[in-house]
Amino acid sequence: MKLSIAIPDSALVDESTQMGKTMKISQIARACAIFQVSTIYLYHEAGGSEHEMSLLRTTLKYLETPQYLRRLLYKKMNELKFAGSLSPLKIPSHVVTADSRKIKLGDVREGVVVFVRGEKYVDAGLEQLIPYYGKDQEGKRIIIRFKDGFPSFTVNQIKKEETHQYWGYEVKESSSLSALVSSWGSYIIFTSRKGKIIHKAQKYFEEIANENVLVVFGSPKRGVHEIMGKALHNVQRSQILNFFHDQATETVRLEEAMLGTLAILNILTHK
């Protein structure tokens, strides 16, 4: 299954401080990394704001960026005020070595195209820059595979799919949840305590096991029924499911719902 998720720009309204909001985004990013989420869609919702959308967008992208590239790609900004306290994702793309001598044939890592003394190079977080002969412009983030190791580096630029392992999530935005689901060309799961209990949907999980699936979460104040209204029941190839049957708490927080839902999906679709 190729998983994507959708969360609203109002996802942070239940946190009163920027520190609290930032820590919540960190938990969201960790859940997505653990369960190999391909894309995080941020959709506009009535309770959201451009400020919170910017905080979500910037922090999620920052966390997905390998640490050794962050200073190249991010300037000091208010959205990243508490970034130093966030938990690292530690996904395969976040290699930590800066020792050129440890690079060997076939290694894959990310870099940024830089322009030095009239020539293009890739800064891949090593002690030396790597000559670059591709078409991408300065500041572009790329993936490279080493054709040979230390000391004479030559590389091929490759696509994310060619890494053959989880290489992080993308962050995209949508003007509304309705716009997002109407343009989605595959299966959709709406999460809601008003939905069908997952134990009654086993055949559905078998059906989607090898498909592209979008998992939609509501906001802390409004669920998917309130956000979409009657249109919710007209979405093609969708199911409204309750992953927390007989919950004892009044509400399930977004970060809790994500971790629980993705964990359950991981089990049900890998039987």
Q: Are residues 54 and 188 in the same domain?
A: yes
Distance from C-alpha of 62 to C-alpha of 69, rounded to nearest angstrom: 10
- Is 176 a domain residue? no
- Is 72 a domain residue? yes
- Is 197 a domain residue? yes
- Is 258 a domain residue? yes
Q: Are residues 189 and 83 in the same domain?
A: yes
Q: Are residues 79 and 203 in the same domain?
A: yes
Tally the domains of the chain. Answer: 2
Q: Residues, the chain, total?
A: 271
Q: Are residues 84 and 108 in the same domain?
A: no
Instruction: Give the C-alpha distances (Å, rounded to integers) separating 25 from 6, 131, 167, 191.
Output: 14, 36, 19, 19
- Locate 14 and state its tokens: 């239940």
| Beta-carbon count within 10 A of 57 CB | 18
| Beta-carbon count within 10 A of 92 CB | 14
Distance from C-alpha of 90 to C-alpha of 175, rounded to nearest angstrom: 31
Q: Are residues 154 and 29 in the same domain?
A: no
The amino acid at residue 176 is S
- Locate 86 and state its tokens: 């966030």
Residue 156, strand partner residues: 145
Rounded-to-10 torsion of CA 177, 32, 260, 51:
-50
Q: Which residue, chain included where needed, has tokens 């995080």?
A: 40
pLDDT tens string 118-157: 999 999 999 889 999 999 999 999 999 999 878 778 899 9
CA neighbor of 187 nearest in space, from 22, 19, 62, 1: 1
- Is 263 a domain residue? yes
Would you state the pLDDT for residue 271?
Answer: 63
- The residue range of the domain holding 27 is 2-89+183-268
Q: Are residues 142 and 83 in the same domain?
A: no
Q: Are residues 243 and 114 in the same domain?
A: no
- Locate 5 and state its tokens: 């998720």
SS (H, E, C) 225-247: HHHHHHHHHHCCCEEEEECCCCC
Q: Are residues 43 and 74 in the same domain?
A: yes
Q: Are residues 72 and 110 in the same domain?
A: no
- Is 21 a domain residue? yes
Would you state the pLDDT for residue 251?
Answer: 87
Q: Are residues 152 and 255 in the same domain?
A: no
CATH, residue 120 = 2.40.50
CA neighbor of 22 nearest in space, from 54, 70, 67, 66: 54
- Is 173 a domain residue? no
Rounded-to-10 torsion of CA 64, 264, 226, 33:
0
Q: Are residues 83 and 124 in the same domain?
A: no
Q: Are residues 215 and 83 in the same domain?
A: yes
CATH, residue 196 = 3.40.1280.10
Q: Provide the b/e sequence for 69-91 (b: ≥16 CB within 10 Å).
A: beeeeeeeeebbebbeebeebeb
State the pairing for strand pair 141-146/155-158.
antiparallel
Which residue positions in the chain have pLDDT lower than 70? 271
